[in-house]
């Protein structure tokens, strides 16, 4: 059931009457319903009637806003992707202490990726990737790929500061990401874990991952600096 009170509240906020299929409030309402249905049933099992019910919007209206089921799904995934990766990489914007920054970023990343909602979204995308490969590709490209690129910039910066010694930064960026997720992602996505890992567990994995990463790529200068700050 939909909350009609909240619905009218939303409507009251509109400045003027939008053109057919152009009201962003209604659009959001539809997508929110679609989110609930698609995420917990997958693309195929989800029916437009379910979404109609869940969104509290008539079927006719949905088809004014979206061409068909697939387009609605893509719009949803597009939005999901946006909220997942938003503000995820800003930790990398200003770094002082390299190790701390890596841990902070690794934590943010790992917490996000293994959260119940994000795992479910990823499952849905993966499950649909067979039938709509472009969707999966676009999700990866505008999500994980973008983060990877950002990570490369960060690592290059660290290299040019003499803190890291890396010959293949591209590969190293992947390795860092994987180290921060060691085991967790796979367990979550196969629903071997039914709940998201705890904060402390993630911290353990990330700290160890950063240790491994820095033992492999940390420069003498970095270790010297760390020893110095240890004494102070």
H helices present in the chain, as ranges: 4-12, 24-45, 48-55, 59-65, 69-85, 98-114, 116-128, 133-142, 144-160, 169-181, 184-189, 199-217, 220-231
Question: Which span sits near a copy of itself by CB under 8 A: 25-33, 89-97, 119-127, 156-164?
Answer: 119-127
Which one, of 71, 65, 55, 73, lies nearest residue 21 by Cα?
65
106 binds a copy of itself (CB under 8 A): no
Cα–Cα distance, 125 to 175 (Å, whole number): 23
Residue in 21, 183, 221, 223 binding a copy of itself, rule: CB under 8 A? 183
Residue in 16, 87, 160, 190 binding a copy of itself, rule: CB under 8 A? 190
Nearest distance from C-beta of residue 79 to DNA, angstroms: 18
Binders of a copy of itself: how many residues, by CB under 8 A?
52
Residue in 40, 47, 90, 133 binding DNA, rule: CB under 7 A? 47
Which pair of tokens denotes residue 31? 């997508």
Cα–Cα distance, 228 to 121 (Å, whole number): 45
Binding residues among 67-126 for DNA as defined by CB under 7 A: 68-70
Binding residues among 9-38 for DNA as defined by CB under 7 A: 11-12, 14-21, 23, 26
Nearest distance from C-beta of residue 127 to a copy of itself, angstroms: 2
Residue in 49, 204, 223, 229 binding a copy of itself, rule: CB under 8 A? 204
Other CB atoms within 10 Å distance of the CB of residue 189 = 16
Closer residue to DNA in complex, CB, 67/141: 67
How distant is the alpha carbon of residue 218 from its chain centre? 28
Which one, of 30, 28, 75, lies nearest residue 48 by Cα?
30
Residue in 37, 109, 179, 202 binding a copy of itself, rule: CB under 8 A? 179
Cα–Cα distance, 75 to 78 (Å, whole number): 5
Q: What's the Rg (C-alpha) of the chain?
A: 22
Which one, of 106, 85, 223, lies nearest residue 163 by Cα?
223
Residue in 36, 42, 63, 157 binding DNA, rule: CB under 7 A? 63
Residues interacting with a copy of itself, by CB under 8 A? 40-45, 120, 123-131, 133, 136-137, 139-141, 144-145, 148, 168, 171, 174-175, 177-179, 181-183, 186-187, 189-192, 194, 204-205, 208-209, 211-213, 215-217
């Amino acid at each position: 059931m939909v909350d009609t009170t909240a619905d009218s509240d939303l409507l009251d906020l509109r400045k003027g009457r939008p053109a057919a299929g152009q009201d962003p409030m209604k659009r959001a309402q539809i997508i929110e319903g679609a989110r609930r249905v698609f995420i917990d049933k997958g693309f195929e099992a989800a029916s437009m009637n379910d979404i109609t019910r869940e969104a509290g919007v008539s079927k006719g209206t949905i088809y004014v806003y979206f061409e068909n089921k697939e387009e609605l799904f893509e719009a949803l995934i597009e939005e999901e992707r946006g909220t997942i990766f938003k503000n995820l990489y800003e930790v990398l914007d200003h770094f002082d202490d390299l190790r701390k920054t890596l841990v902070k970023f690794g934590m943010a990343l790992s917490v996000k990726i293994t959260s119940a909602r994000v795992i479910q979204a990823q499952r849905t995308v993966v499950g649909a990737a067979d039938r709509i490969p472009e969707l999966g590709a676009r999700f990866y490209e505008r999500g994980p790929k973008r983060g990877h690129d950002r990570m490369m910039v960060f690592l290059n910066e660290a290299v040019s500061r003499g803190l890291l010694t890396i010959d293949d930064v591209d590969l190293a960026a992947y390795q860092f990401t994987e180290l921060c997720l060691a085991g967790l992602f796979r367990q979550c996505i196969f629903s071997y874990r039914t709940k998201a890992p705890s904060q402390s567990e993630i911290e353990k994995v990330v700290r160890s991952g950063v240790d491994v990463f820095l033992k492999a790529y940390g420069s003498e200068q970095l270790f010297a600096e760390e020893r110095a700050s240890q004494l102070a």
